[in-house]
Structure 1
Amino acid sequence: MKEVSLSLIGFGNVGKGVAEVILNKNQYFKEKYGLDIKVVSITDSTATIWDPEGIDLKEALEIKRSFGSLKFWGSEYDIYDLKPPDVVEEVESDVIVDVTNDKNAADWHLKALNNGKAVVTSNKPPVVFRYRELLETAYKKNVPYLFEATVMAGTPIISLLRNALFADSVERIWGVLNGTTTFILNCMEEGMSFEEALKKAQELGIAERDPSNDIGGIDAGYKGVILHNIAFHPFDFKKASIEGIERISEKEIQENIKKGTVTRLVTLVENGKVEVRPIKLPTNHPLAVKGTSNVALIESDLLGELVIKGAGAGVKETASGVVSDIIRASLETKHL
Structure 2
Amino acid sequence: MALPDQPQPDQADRPLKLCVLKFGSSVLFKPDDYARAAHEIYRHVRAGEKVVAVVSALDGETDALFGVGNDVGQGCSDALLARLVRCGELKSAALMGLALERSGIPSAVLDPHEMGLRAEGEALDANLTGLDASRVLKRFASVDVIVAPGFFGEGADGPVTLGRGGTDLTAVEFAHWLGADRVRLIKDVDGVYTDDPAKVANAKRFDQLDYDEAARVSRGLVQDKAITRAKEQDVVIEVAALGRPYATRIAAVEQRAGDGLEMKPMRVAVLGHGAVGAGVCAHLLAHPGRFTLNPVLVRDPAQHSAGAAAELSFTDDPARALGGEPDIVVETIGGTGLARALSQSVLREGAHLVTANKAVVALDFDRLHELAEENGRSLRYSATIGGGVPILELVDLLARHDTLLSVEGVLNGTCNFVLGQLGQGVPLAAAVAEAQRLGFAEADPSADIDGLDAADKLAILVRHAFGVALHPDQIACESLSDLSAERIAAVNEEGLVFKQIACCSTTADGGVEARVEIRALAPDHPLAGLVNEGNGALLDLPSGQVGVFGKGAGRWPTAEAVFADIMDIQRETLLPAQSASHQPENPLSHGRQMSSRTVA
TM-score, structure 1 normalization: 0.83
Counterpart of 1:8 (choices 266, 270, 273) is: 270
**Which residue is equivalent to 2:186?**
none
Between the two proteins, the alignment pairs up a number of residues equal to 306
Counterpart of 2:545 (choices 278, 300, 305) is: 305
Counterpart of 1:285 (choices 516, 525, 529) is: 525
**Which residue is equivalent to 2:324?**
91
**Which residue is equivalent to 1:51?**
none
Counterpart of 1:263 (choices 498, 506, 519) is: 498
Q: Deviations over 1:278-322 (max 9, x none)?
A: 111111111212222111001123x42111111111111110111
Q: Deviations over 1:86-127 (max 9, x none)?
A: 744x43210000001130333322222222210000011221
Q: CA deviation at 1:264?
A: 0.9
Counterpart of 1:326 (choices 566, 579, 582) is: 566
Counterpart of 2:435 (choices 175, 183, 201) is: 201
**Which residue is equivalent to 1:33?**
none
Flag the 1:80–1:181 CA change in 2: closer, same or farther, 3 A. closer
Flag the 1:146–1:230 CA change in 2: closer, same or farther, 3 A. same
2:329 is matched by which residue type in structure 1?
I
Query: Contact 2:297–2:314 (CA<8 Å) still a contact in 1?
Result: no
Flag the 1:145–1:259 CA change in 2: closer, same or farther, 3 A. same
Name the SS of the counterpart of 2:416 in structure 1: helix
Name the SS of the counterpart of 1:96 in structure 2: strand
Write 1 or 2 for the structure with the bigger share of helix.
1
1:20 is matched by which residue type in structure 2?
A
Name the SS of the counterpart of 2:480 in structure 1: coil
Name structure 2 gaps, 5 residues minimum. Answer: 1-262, 507-511, 577-600
Query: Contact 2:398–2:404 (CA<8 Å) still a contact in 1?
Result: no
**Which residue is equivalent to 1:294?**
535
Is 1:234 the equivalent of 2:496? no
Higher RCO (CA 8 Å, separation ≥ 6 residues): 1
- For residues 130-209 of structure 1, the aligned pairs below 5 Å read 130-163=364-397, 165-209=399-443
Q: Deviations over 1:19-76 (max 9, x none)?
A: 122233x16xx7xxxxx122123111245xxxxxxxxxxxx9xx626379x9xx9xx9
Q: Distance in 2 between matches of 1:134 and 1:23?
A: 28
Q: Which stretch of structure 1 is more off in the superposition, 282-291 or 119-128?
A: 282-291
**Structure with max Cα Rg:** 2
Q: CA deviation at 1:266?
A: 0.7
- For residues 86-125 of structure 1, the aligned pairs below 5 Å read 87-88=321-322, 90-104=323-337, 105-125=339-359
Is 1:23 the equivalent of 2:285? yes
**Which residue is equivalent to 1:50?**
none
1:244 is matched by which residue type in structure 2?
S
Q: CA deviation at 1:224?
A: 0.6
Name the SS of the counterpart of 2:553 in structure 1: coil
Q: Distance in 2 between matches of 1:189 and 1:327?
A: 40
Query: Contact 1:9–1:42 (CA<8 Å) still a contact in 2?
Result: yes
Q: CA deviation at 1:142?
A: 2.0
TM-score, structure 2 normalization: 0.48
Flag the 1:41–1:164 CA change in 2: closer, same or farther, 3 A. farther
Q: Distance in 2 between matches of 1:208 and 1:181?
A: 12
Flag the 1:79–1:37 CA change in 2: closer, same or farther, 3 A. closer
Flag the 1:114–1:209 CA change in 2: closer, same or farther, 3 A. same
Q: Deviations over 1:161-209 (max 9, x none)?
A: 2345411121110111111111111112112111111111111011111
Q: Distance in 2 between matches of 1:8 and 1:15?
A: 7
* % same residue: 29
Query: Contact 1:253–1:262 (CA<8 Å) still a contact in 2?
Result: no
Query: Contact 1:240–1:274 (CA<8 Å) still a contact in 2?
Result: yes
Name the SS of the counterpart of 1:8 in structure 2: strand
Q: Distance in 1 between matches of 2:406 and 2:383?
A: 21
Query: Contact 1:194–1:249 (CA<8 Å) still a contact in 2?
Result: no
Counterpart of 1:225 (choices 459, 483, 489) is: 459
Flag the 1:3–1:281 CA change in 2: closer, same or farther, 3 A. same
Q: Distance in 2 between matches of 1:285 and 1:103?
A: 35
Flag the 1:3–1:79 CA change in 2: closer, same or farther, 3 A. closer
Counterpart of 1:37 (choices 291, 299, 302) is: 291
Flag the 1:222–1:93 CA change in 2: closer, same or farther, 3 A. same
Q: Distance in 1 between matches of 2:418 and 2:382?
A: 25
Q: Distance in 1 between matches of 2:486 and 2:306?
A: 45
- For residues 66-81 of structure 1, the aligned pairs below 5 Å read 66=306, 81=316
RMSD, matched Cα: 2.6
Q: Distance in 2 between matches of 1:214 and 1:81?
A: 28
